[in-house]
Amino acid sequence: MNDLQHQVQEAIDQFVESGAERGLQVAVYQHGELMVDAFAGVADPETERRVVSDTPFYAYSTGKGATATVAHMLAEHGAFGYDTPIVELWPEFGAHGKEAATVRHALTHTVGVPGIPADTTPEDLCDWDKMCAVIADSEPWWEPGTKTAYHAYTFGYIVGEIVRRATGKPISQVLREEVAAPLGIADELYFGMPESELGRLARLEDEEGSAEFLAAMPDDSPILKWGPRATFPTAEFGNRPDVLMADIPAGGKMSARAAARGLRRGIQRRR
């Protein structure tokens, strides 16, 4: 065990022993070499299943890095350009004045459709065609490219549908075949997970007080315009089998090792 590995392992063991963390992983790559691959604690408190190197966690918006990585790879291969109008690939997206929106706008959170309807349910999020149709028919909050706001859920569907229209494949398939498999992390990086793999996932738990915080949030809070209360990233939401198996590429399920390796590749491609 190298000194850095030892120091990190010792630190995360202390986090678990103190009760500050239930279970966690840390991975560090340097120049393509895995320098730290540390893990500690339990992945499922009910069964006491332990966290190991390849335990996937639902890391929510960390998955946007994987989504962007797929888009950068396809741009590099000429499937589309950053300034390609989205309507060239997805004509329906041009409704209500969005015809000038580009792939670049989608990737930079400036495309102008950061929110989803207030009555959106978790079941809706699992319905790819429905969500894409709703987003395509949305009125933009601003002229694409003129303002920036975090596209909490819509980022994944917009980029994902651009990928699907360009390749004929769901973004989860492109991620696995073109990114995760070549990097050796095909079983550690997912959007939608196969049902057979769900037993490997870490179970999420809410931080104390988070449920009360969400309940006290006013209905007109700006954050609830991006992701309604029913779709807020709680443990209950993130442990649902339908959500875990669905392509919702605004988030992702991954190990720390996969995040470090896969997302680093995306940064390299963008440069």
User: 107 Cβ partners below 8 Å, 6+ apart?
Assistant: 68, 71, 82, 159
CA distance 67 to 157: 10
Of 32, 12, 51, 17, the C-alpha closest to 202 is: 51
User: 81 Cβ partners below 8 Å, 6+ apart?
Assistant: 75, 103
DSSP element (H, E) containing 38: strand 33-44
Residue 69 Cα distances to 97, 187, 214, 219, angstroms: 28, 17, 32, 34
Annotated active-site positions, please?
61
* Tokens found for residue 105: 């706008």
* Sheet (strand 33-44) strand order: 23-30, 33-44, 49-50
Residue at 49: amino acid letter: R
Q: Which residues pair with 24 in a beta bridge?
A: 40
Query: What is the distance, to the nearest Å, from the Cα of residue 22 to the centroid of all Cα atoms in its chain?
Result: 22
Q: Provide the pairing of β-strand 57-58 with 253-254.
A: antiparallel
CA distance 161 to 111: 14
